[in-house]
């Protein structure tokens, strides 16, 4: 059964970055390492660009999972950071749940490693508590396409929306007139072909400046 189109709302969305840890990143094989890191950082940059509440969490940092990607700590120095001592499902950690609910947001944009565990368990738990869940597929990684696809199916059937970081940005932005250069610069930073597009746009704009307004 089809569901109505419920769009991301910049005033009602929060970003949850789950277990993007240096050890766990070595398990990701459904994306190449450079591509996956680019996607994760693109999601982080758009969260900062749109000023979305963002929560960082890790699982068992002292073990083989390793510490959080340093770039995420640098991007969000003041964001809530919940280092879970052992809980696999972030929703089992009271501090994490409190941080999520403290945002006052009902739409949760979730990405993490690995997809079928750290992302899926959290997504299913949040859905059960009445949150809208948007899983960022290209900023979540796992062992292979089979495990990824099975987890996508599980989350989708439970009501999660699967979306890419680029679609998240466009759905939040809604209208290019809001800020062409700002969003364009974000896209150009993470998509080489979009860099070419923005260079072309800048050249055309320079050659054809807008007329000055009449006082």
The catalytic site residues sit at 118
Which DSSP letter does residue 115 get? Answer: I
Do the Cβ atoms of 187 and 194 come closer than 8 Å? yes
What is the spatial distance between Cα 33 and Cα 214, in angstroms, rounded to a whole number?
53
Write the secondary structure of 172-185 as one string of H (helix), E (strand) and C (coil). Answer: HHCCHHHCHHHHHH
For 37, half-sphere exposure in the C-beta direction (CA atoms, 13 angstrom radius) is 12
- Helix and strand numbers, DSSP H then E, in the chain: 9, 6
């Amino acid at each position: 059964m089809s569901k109505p189109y419920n769009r991301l709302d910049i005033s009602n969305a929060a970003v949850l970055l789950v277990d993007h840890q240096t050890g766990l990143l070595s398990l990701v094989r459904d994306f190449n390492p450079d591509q996956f890191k680019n996607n994760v950082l693109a999601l982080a940059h758009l969260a900062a660009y749109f000023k979305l509440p963002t929560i960082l969490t890790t699982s068992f940092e002292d073990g083989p999972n390793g510490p959080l990607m340093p770039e995420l700590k640098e991007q969000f120095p003041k964001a809530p950071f919940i280092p879970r001592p052992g809980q696999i499902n972030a929703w089992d950690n009271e501090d994490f749940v409190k941080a999520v609910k403290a945002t006052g947001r009902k739409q949760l944009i979730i990405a993490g490693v690995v997809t079928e565990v750290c992302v899926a368990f959290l997504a299913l738990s949040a859905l059960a508590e009445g949150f809208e869940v948007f899983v960022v597929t290209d900023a979540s990684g796992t062992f292979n396409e089979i495990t990824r696809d099975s987890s996508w199916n599980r989350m989708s059937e439970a009501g999660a929306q699967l979306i890419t970081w680029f679609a998240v940005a466009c759905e939040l932005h809604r209208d290019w007139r809001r800020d062409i250069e700002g969003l364009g610069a974000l896209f150009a930073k993470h998509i080489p072909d979009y860099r070419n597009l923005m260079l072309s746009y800048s050249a055309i704009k320079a050659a054809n400046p807008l007329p000055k307004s009449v006082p």
